[in-house]
Amino acid sequence: AQRVTQPEKLLSVFKGAPVELKCNYSYSGSPELFWYVQYSRQRLQLLLRHISRESIKGFTADLNKGETSFHLKKPFAQEEDSAMYYCALSIQGAQKLVFGQGTRLTINP
């Protein structure tokens, strides 16, 4: 079965420090990986997807098929990055997203 694991429920870092939110997945085929973000009182929105290989709001994520990971990174955290972050997997040919449990990121001033 497909599964997404985010080992940290809570992550707290200081402003200006590097951030890494971990995501591991289990799927034997070729997955498509996403990071979604939910800011306070806002709807869930797409942050980035691995196929686009973009940097959004300073965040990047690299798909590592050997380690089945898709960690989200930012070199210098900002206070506005405080939010709930969800890693998600989509199976090729399927339409649903499988989400991890989420990591609440808090950036301290």
Partner 1 sequence: DTGVSQDPRHKITKRGQNVTFRCDPISEHNRLYWYRQTLGQGPEFLTYFQNEAQLEKSRLLSDRFSAERPKGSFSTLEIQRTEQGDSAMYLCASSLTNSEAFFGQGTRLTVV
Give the number of other CB atoms < 10 A from CB of residue 78.
Answer: 13
* Interacting residue with partner 1 among 21, 72, 86, 107 (CB under 8 A): 86
The CB-of-75 to partner 1 minimum distance in angstroms stands at 25
Nearer Cβ to partner 1, position 38 or 68?
A: 38
Cα distance between residue 11 and residue 18, in whole Å: 12
Q: How many CA atoms lie within 13 A of 80 on its CB side?
A: 3
Question: 80: Cβ–Cβ under 8 A, 6 or more apart, which residues?
Answer: 107
Give the total of residues touching partner 1 (CB under 8 A).
19
The CB-of-89 to partner 1 minimum distance in angstroms stands at 11
Window of 22-30, 59-67, 71-79, 99-107 that interacts with partner 1 by CB under 8 A: 99-107
- Assess 43 for contact with partner 1 (CB under 8 A): yes
Cα distance between residue 39 and residue 86, in whole Å: 11
CB 16 within 8 A of CB 75: no
- Assess 31 for contact with partner 1 (CB under 8 A): no
Give me the residues that bind partner 1 (CB under 8 A), please. 4, 9, 42-46, 49, 86, 88, 94-102
